[in-house]
Amino acid sequence: MVLTKNPYYDSETYPSEGEAGDEAAGLLQDAGKPLPLIEQVVFSLEKETIPYWNKFLQGYYDASGISSDSFDQAVQVSVGGEAAVTDEMQAQGISLSTSVSTSTMYTGFNWLDATVGGNSERATKLRRAIAIAVDFEEFVSIFANGRGISAHSPIPPGLFGYREGCDGVNRYVYDCVDGEARRKPIEEAKRLLAEAGYPGGVDAKTKQPLVIHLDTTANGVGNKSRLDWLRKQFDKLGVQLDVRSTDYNRFQDKIRRGDTQMFYFGWNADYPDPENFLFLLHGAQAKVGKGGENAANYANPEYDRLFEQMKNMENGPERQAIIDRMLEILRRDSPWLWGFHPKNYVLQHDWLHNVKPNVMANNKLKYWRVDAERRDELRREWNQPVRWPLWLGAASLLLFGWWMRRVLRQREERR
C-alpha cells in the first residue's frame, strides 16, 4: 500500500512549540516546515515475523515492533526494570521508544453469580482473595516480556484521573513500600478466603471444594501455558479453576445472558477520557437486560450516582476528587481482577526522525522525516554481497573437472 503526498496540500506546518524536553530531543528541528515531510510512504505485508525482522535489521524497514522471539536480541532490561536496546542494536543506530497503551486487560466477575457476585461480605472477601493471589506482575514478566504494568483501576496511565505513586495504589491488593506498590502476601489472601467461608479452598458449610469457572475463547496451543499459569495462581489458595473454552460467538452469547462466573476481557480507549473506562462498570450499561458494555453487570448505587455527576465535567480538582471516590468504591468491591495495561515497544533506525510515542494519535506520519541518503548508505554497507561462496563453488567445480579429466585419461590409457 503506497501513500503519496498531495502536492496541493498547504494547510499545516510543523509545530514550533512542544512539551518539556522536545527541543533537546531534536523534535523541533523542522519547526515551521510544511507538512507532510515525507513524499511517499510504502506499507508492505509480511506474512512471517522472521523475514520481517531480518529485513528491518538490513535497513529495508524504517521502524519495527518486537515479537517475543526477537525480544532478547533487541532489548535488555536493567535491574531497575528500565528497558533499553542491546549493544548489537545500539551499534546499528537503532533506538527504542516505549509507551503504555490506553488499554486495560482484565478478568471480570459476574455480579449476578451466586458465588462470586454481589456486594455481600462473603463474596467481596472471596474476590479480594483471588485478586491478591493472581500475580499479574509475574504474568507480564513471563508472557509479555515485561511489556506492561499492573493495573490498580480501569484507568490507564496518561489519562486524567490516573494517579502516580502511592496515591494510585489499590490498597486492598497492594501495600505501598518505599513509594512502590508491593503485592500483599499470599497469607493475607488465605485469611480473606477463610473469612469468606472457604478455609483452604473448601466450603465450610457443604465441605465441598470451591470450584470457580472461567469462560474464555483462548483454546489454541499457545494459550495453554497461560491457562496453566492461571490455574496455579488459584492453586495457591486451594481453589480449583475450571476453564471453559468456547468459540467467540458462544462466548458473547454467554456474556449477554450472564451465564458466566469469570471471564477474560479487554478494552481499548475510544477517546482519551476516564469516562471511556469508568462507564464499563456503570450499572445502567450492564450487559444483561440492557445490552451495554458493563460485562460484569456490576451495580453500585453510589458509584452510579458519582458516574453521572462526573461524566460530562471538565477536567479539574473537583472531577479528580469524584474519580478518586469512584475508584475507591471499585477497589473495595473488586468487580474485576484489574489485570494490566500493555506497553508498546517500537524500534526505529537513526535515519527516521520526529517519532514521538502517542497511542491515541493516528496522524503521526505527517510529522516524520526520513534521511534517505543516510538510509541508502547504511543499506549498502549492511548488505554487501557475500562472494566467497561463489569463488568456493567455482574452485570446487574446477577441481572436480580436473579430477574427472584425470580419471577418464587413466581409463583410456588402460584400454
Confidence at residue 354, expressed as pLDDT on a 0 to 100 scale: 92
Polymer length of the chain: 415
User: Does residue 301 lie within any of the structural domains?
Assistant: yes
User: Does residue 366 lie within any of the structural domains?
Assistant: no
User: Does residue 397 lie within any of the structural domains?
Assistant: no
Report the run of H or E that residue 73 belongs to, with start and end.
helix 71-74
User: Does residue 213 lie within any of the structural domains?
Assistant: yes
Under the banding of pLDDT at 50, 70 and 90, the label for residue 276 is very high
Under the banding of pLDDT at 50, 70 and 90, the label for residue 79 is low
Give CA–CA dist 286/294, Å, rounded: 4
Work out the number of other CB atoms within 10 angstroms of the CB of residue 221: 6
| CATH value at residue 126 | 3.10.105.10
User: Does residue 250 lie within any of the structural domains?
Assistant: yes
Which of 18-22, 111-115, 396-400 has the lowest average pLDDT?
18-22
Under the banding of pLDDT at 50, 70 and 90, the label for residue 221 is low
Q: Could you read off the pLDDT of 391-406 as tens digits, one per residue?
A: 999 999 999 999 998 8
Share of the chain above pLDDT 70, in %: 98
- Total-model pTM: 0.83
User: Does residue 143 lie within any of the structural domains?
Assistant: yes
Q: Which domain holds residue 112?
A: 103-343
Which of 214-223, 227-236, 398-407 has the lowest average pLDDT?
214-223
User: Does residue 395 lie within any of the structural domains?
Assistant: no
Please check the confidence at residue 163 and state whether its pLDDT lies above 70.
yes
In the chain, how many domains are there?
Answer: 1
Q: Could you read off the pLDDT of 88-102 as tens digits, one per residue?
A: 999 999 999 888 899
Report the run of H or E that residue 108 belongs to, with start and end.
strand 103-109
Give CA–CA dist 336/298, Å, rounded: 9
The answer to whether 3 and 40 have CB atoms below 8 angstroms apart is yes
User: Does residue 240 lie within any of the structural domains?
Assistant: yes
Residue linked to cell 457443604 = 206
